[in-house]
């Protein structure tokens, strides 16, 4: 799993049917201290994450298909949590 920050929403009209009525988020990837790594993932939102929120990402297909409830869904990355706090090396890391 990865930690990321919601950077925007991907708007798509033409897509594979499983993506209908699902929010697609642009999520910038963070390191363990909440710093930007330069990478990103497009994720399906499963928790209602908002703009600039720090989130927990699952980037693995089998679990992702379980989250969306379809064993044949072409989905790999899912936002599965909203991070309240990162505690690394005995310190709370700034995540906002």
Partner 1 sequence: MQLGEVIGTVVATVKYEGLEGVRFLIVQPLDRERRPVGRPVVAADGVHMAAPGDTVYFIGIREAALALPEPFVPVDHAICGIVDHVERP
Site residues for partner 1 per CB under 8 A: 7-16, 19, 24, 26, 28, 38, 40-43, 51, 61, 64, 72-77
Minimal distance, residue 41 CB to partner 1, in Å: 7
Minimal distance, residue 49 CB to partner 1, in Å: 13
Residue 68 CB contacts under 8 Å (≥ 6 apart), including other chains:
18, 22, 44, 46, 75, 78
Q: Residue 26 or residue 56: which is nearer to partner 1 going by CB?
A: 26
Minimal distance, residue 28 CB to partner 1, in Å: 7
Closest CA to 61 of 45, 80, 76, 48: 76
Q: Residue 75 or residue 80: which is nearer to partner 1 going by CB?
A: 75
- Give CA torsion, residues 42, 48, 49, 55, to 10 deg: -80
């Amino acid at each position: 799993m990865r930690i990321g920050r919601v950077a925007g929403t991907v708007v798509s009209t033409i897509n594979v049917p499983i993506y209908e009525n699902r929010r697609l988020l642009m999520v910038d990837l963070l390191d363990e201290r909440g710093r930007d790594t330069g990478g990103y993932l497009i994720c399906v939102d499963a928790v209602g994450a908002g703009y600039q929120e720090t989130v927990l990402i699952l980037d693995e297909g089998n679990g992702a298909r379980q989250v969306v409830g379809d064993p044949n869904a072409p989905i790999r990355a899912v936002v599965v949590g909203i991070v309240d706090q990162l505690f690394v090396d005995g310190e709370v890391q700034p995540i906002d």
